Amino acid sequence: QVSGGDDEIQQLQKALLDYLDENTEIDASLVFSRKFYVAQWFRDTTMETEKAIKSQKDEDSSEGTHHAKDVETTGQIMHRAESRKKF
C-alpha cells in the first residue's frame, strides 16, 4: 500500500529492492536483478536531468534572455536528481 505524493516512485522502488533483497537466498539471480534496477534508475535519472537542462537552455536561447525563474527551475531539477541518486 503506497500513499500518494512526490516520493511515491521511490517508495515503490524501495519496496521492490526490499523484496529482491529478501529473496536472494531463494534465487541467486535476484542479486543481479537488484543491481540492474539500481543502475537503470540511476541512468534514467541522469538522462531525465540532461533532457530537462537541455530544454531549459533551449528556452533561454529562444527568448534571448536569462530569467531568475529558469535558474530556480534548473536548481530544482538538479536537487531532485541528486536526491534520487542518493536514494
> What is the reported pTM?
0.68
Q: What is the pLDDT of residue 65?
A: 53
The mean pLDDT of the chain is 81
Sign of the dihedral through C-alpha 9, 12, 18, 21? negative
Q: What is the pLDDT of residue 66?
A: 53
- Statement: residue 70 has pLDDT above 70: no
Residues 29-45: tens digit of each pLDDT: 999 999 999 999 999 98
Residues 5-22: tens digit of each pLDDT: 557 888 898 999 999 999
- CA Rg value for the chain: 17
Domain limits of the chain?
A: 1-58
